[in-house]
Structure 1
Amino acid sequence: MIIIENCAVATVDDDRTEHRSGHVVIGDDGRITALGPGPAAVGDRTATRVDGTGCLATPGLVNAHHHLYQWVTRGLAQDADLFGWLTTLYPVWARLDTEAVYAAAAAGLGWLALSGCTTSTDHHYVFPPGRDDPLAAEIEAARLVGLRFQPCRGSMDLGRSAGGLPPDALVEKTEAALLATEAALDRYHDPSPGSMLRISVAPCSPFSVSPTLMREAAALARRRGVRLHTHLAETAEEEEYCRHTHGCTPVEYAERLGWLGDDVWLAHGVHLDDRALARLAETGTAVAHCPSSNARLGAGIARVPDLLARGVPVGLGVDGAASQEAGQLGAELRQALYAARLRGGPTALNVRQALALGTIGGARCLGRADEIGSLEVGKLADVALWRLDGLGHAGIDDPVAALVLGPPAPLALLLVGGRVVVAEGELRTTDAARLTAAALRAHRRLLARAEPAGRRAVA
């Protein structure tokens, strides 16, 4: 048993209950057994007691969109838009092997943990022919770091010769992609309560996936009872592509193929008109908002307040580290608030809404709001304890405002299912220095193998 007390508590439950000084009790089964104001009424002398004085306890953050393999290609194509960035980096990613994917995933997940993340998805869609399974590599990395993991088996089957964006050498055959996706579900997906590993189905995007693969992937996911994920409405260029190629908007295209529903979450959703917002709301389709990546690539500002006002579930995503080099989920709380206010003014989004995006919103995207995303009795003990008593937060009396508006807060403690992953700002499940060294080696080796594409990406 772990007892955290003397801390501010923001539960992010349906009533948005908060305590200026409260407690959270975690049972040996890795679930929350009690919480509330004041000290814990638990007399168990064998319990581990954590003094949270000066700290804020929140649900662990939930990352609703990522591309972990990109950690080893950060800092490249710095001034490109999405299509230019992709076409520059595709030849580099074509050289990926499982060693690079493992190093990238371990580094990315370790860094996510240090920014308060307890659950992450990943959208892996690059499967160079003749290589070992990269999905297995990143799953092993998640086990090492200790995060709850919901990777997506992605796919691309629409190469350049067929009118798509990726090079032909980097796409799969349609049937092969579907078979590999089902094999990943058979091998890895664990639907049991409290699961540390679930798999989702995720063809990549309208400009890299054929309508057949989109339609059949949706059917596969629904037959297997798992969630669906893809990129949609990220850029103006994507909308132009859909109108030119399919004669409709991205959301209309998704709906034609059976890709709207309460088992679907879409990455980005930047370019949505009122009709698209209405269809997402009516169908219960969720959106993973990626404000830093959208800004880095100049994609635009998503209409998050409008989505929320219509009841669309919205979570936060870091997105791939090659278009969001900071790689921190905690910092996205502030970025989401800033982006909303740049578009809609100072009341467009408040600090508690921003925290909800990064917690219960992400849990809804992943279909796990019954288990994670809020601090409630019976839910999994995925807890972030943020230290707010240092110089950077001194004088910000509202702890949630301190977390969201202040500088990145160090973690006093990060628990995943009651297991310590971070303590006093340090990873406790693995050695951060080793992750750093392995990622640097993989980066250098990948760029050397990818020459001259690597030189062009750096330029």
Structure 2
Amino acid sequence: MTAPARDFSPVVVHSARIVVPMTAPPILDGAVAVQSGRILHVGERSWVLDRLDASGLRSSERHWPGAILPGLVNAHSHLQYTGMASVGEGSYDGFDDWAKSFGAVYSGPHDWAAEAARGAELSIVAGVTSVSDVVTDMEAASALGDAGLGGIAYWEVMDWENEAWSERGRDQILDELTRIPADPGVGLSPHAPYSLDVEPLLELPDIVRQRGLCLHLHLGESAFEGERGMEPGGSSTGDSAAGGHDAWHFVGVPSFRALRELGFGASATAFVDRLGVLGPDCHVAHGVYMTADDRALLRARGTTVALCPRSNAVIGLDPPPVADYLLEGSAIAVGTDSLSSSPSLDPLADVTALHLIARSQGYARHDLHERLLTAATLGGAHAMGLDVGPDRVGHLAVGARADLAVFDVDARTVPDAYAELVEDGAGRCVATIIRGVVRHQKEPT
């Protein structure tokens, strides 16, 4: 067997007081050696420099203040709505109230390509290197690839009823799927259980899985999707006439809305699970209105939930059950949603919100900082299946893509750095490195 050719390209060593690999313990006075866009070594600075010296490789060093992390992964966003910040600056009384304002602005003139490109720029400034980007208009489909970001562009599918889907919907989506750029990745996003009938919800996962792609959908975002149980005294909140919320799948309902109109109380999560939508190649966004049974379904199927707490707050929804997800061991990631429902595209601002919510919900364990940082990096990569393979991201390991983010935080100790990143990390990114190239660097003040 022929040995692979040795790479003699120059090496850049990025060092800092703390390096956080995510899949190994934090390293004090650590370094990451990068060559040809890949990570060559991770470890203590002295060890990394000794290894390079022994190998005879040419290297240069950049020492950064604070902490080096893997590039952040925004596990749910709509970059094309970056120009709709006027909607996100409001406050609303619920999903329907927000949707009216969103629809009014969405229907106006937009340069979706330019707005998505601006969203990509803002993401890089925040330390984001990979995005789960839900795309509604084809002009915005190339935003990730154009910006050099990692992640997946998910083509959004919504408002298809069974008959129209059979007549023309399937062929239309197949055509549109071929037009989404393959770089960095492509998938489908069935919008939500209430915006699609049963036939498209059954077929869209098959279309994706036949091609080895991924799924992403909004789930448990609106109270309408929550389970309707029995009220005190034995009366039902909506399922007694139909024989209990567990019997709905024997009726052959054409849609989730029809299920509700017939009086069944099954949740949207149980509904899509019965249709075979969930799985390890599918991740969902929001997960606010979910019972313990719903959350158990996500765990059983290997499905990650991307939590977007600031978006939920703007729309006027309840906070997600963060403490329950953590205590139960659910796979979580972090998303910003879009500027049409959130103040910024900085995932660390959502991490701070999740920290406050978890503590208010009674989560008292000492691992909260670490788990939320993991959610914003490795968790998002795992949600999209990007934590393994030749182009893996979300952690700092030999051979992985050299996507790094540097944060100017108190780095005297690991607990201090973790606390500052989680509780006050937004806006502290001083450098973003994608495939070994410094794409953003904040000028020193």
SS of 2:77's equivalent in the other structure is coil
> Deviations 1:167-196 (Å, cap 9, x if unpaired)?
xxxxx8666443343334434464xxxxx5
Give the structure 1 partner of residue 174 of structure 2.
182
> Deviations 1:368-391 (Å, cap 9, x if unpaired)?
1111111111111111111226xx
Alpha-carbon distance, 1:233 to partner: 0.8
Q: What is the aligned counterpart of 2:28 among 20, 26, 32?
A: 20
Question: Aligned residues: percent identity?
Answer: 26
SS of 2:86's equivalent in the other structure is coil
Which residues of 2 match residues 263-274 of structure 1 at below 5 A?
263-274=281-292
> Deviations 1:44-67 (Å, cap 9, x if unpaired)?
674331012x32011101011111
Distance 1:397 1:362 in 2: 23
Higher mean C-alpha displacement, 147-156 vs 403-412: 403-412
**Distance change >3 Å, CA 369–CA 305, structure 1 → 2:** farther
SS of 1:339's equivalent in the other structure is helix
Contact 2:135–2:141 under 8 Å retained in 1: no
Give the structure 2 partner of residue 198 of structure 1.
185
Distance 1:396 1:374 in 2: 17
Contact 1:4–1:49 under 8 Å retained in 2: yes
1:8 aligns with 2:15: no
1:375 aligns with 2:383: no
Give the structure 2 partner of residue 148 of structure 1.
150
Distance 1:294 1:17 in 2: 33
1:416 aligned partner, one-letter code? I
Distance 1:274 1:348 in 2: 23
Task: Give the superposed CA RMSD.
Answer: 2.6
Give the structure 2 partner of residue 436 of structure 1.
none
SS of 1:327's equivalent in the other structure is coil
Higher mean C-alpha displacement, 178-187 vs 214-223: 178-187
Which residues of 2 match residues 417-436 of structure 1 at below 5 A?
417-424=435-442
Give the structure 2 partner of residue 210 of structure 1.
197
1:19 aligned partner, one-letter code? I
1:413 aligns with 2:431: yes
SS of 1:398's equivalent in the other structure is helix
> Deviations 1:301-351 (Å, cap 9, x if unpaired)?
222333244443211100021110222122222112112122224448611
Give the structure 2 partner of residue 291 of structure 1.
309
SS of 2:269's equivalent in the other structure is helix
Distance 2:320 2:348 in 1: 19
1:37 aligns with 2:44: yes
> Deviations 1:273-321 (Å, cap 9, x if unpaired)?
1111111111111111111111111221222333244443211100021
Give the structure 2 partner of residue 340 of structure 1.
358
Contact 1:117–1:330 under 8 Å retained in 2: no
Which structure has the greater CA radius of gyration? 2
Contact 1:316–1:358 under 8 Å retained in 2: yes
Unaligned ranges ≥5, structure 1: 126-133, 163-171, 191-195, 427-459
Q: What is the aligned counterpart of 1:386 among 396, 404, 407?
A: 407
Alpha-carbon distance, 1:401 to partner: 1.5
Task: Extract structure 1 runs of 4+ deviating beyond 4 A.
Answer: 172-177, 240-243, 393-397
**Distance change >3 Å, CA 425–CA 257, structure 1 → 2:** farther
1:254 aligns with 2:272: yes
Contact 2:225–2:289 under 8 Å retained in 1: no
Alpha-carbon distance, 1:146 to partner: 2.5
Give the structure 2 partner of residue 131 of structure 1.
none
SS of 2:43's equivalent in the other structure is strand
Contact 1:33–1:378 under 8 Å retained in 2: yes
Q: What is the aligned counterpart of 1:231 among 195, 218, 222?
A: 218
SS of 1:88's equivalent in the other structure is helix
**Distance change >3 Å, CA 8–CA 177, structure 1 → 2:** farther
2:393 aligned partner, one-letter code? I
Normalising by structure 1, we get a TM-score of 0.78
> Deviations 1:61-112 (Å, cap 9, x if unpaired)?
1011111222212222532411221133224323455xx2112111111111
Alpha-carbon distance, 1:23 to partner: 0.6
Q: What is the aligned counterpart of 2:70 among 48, 52, 59?
A: 59
**Distance change >3 Å, CA 145–CA 252, structure 1 → 2:** same
Give the structure 2 partner of residue 138 of structure 1.
140
Contact 2:286–2:306 under 8 Å retained in 1: yes
Give the structure 2 partner of residue 431 of structure 1.
none
Give the structure 2 partner of residue 322 of structure 1.
340
1:355 aligns with 2:368: no
Higher mean C-alpha displacement, 77-86 vs 263-272: 77-86
**Distance change >3 Å, CA 181–CA 397, structure 1 → 2:** same
SS of 2:438's equivalent in the other structure is strand
1:21 aligned partner, one-letter code? D
Distance 2:420 2:135 in 1: 34
Unaligned ranges ≥5, structure 2: 1-10, 229-255
Alpha-carbon distance, 1:154 to partner: 0.5
Distance 1:181 1:219 in 2: 13
- Counting matched residue pairs gives 392
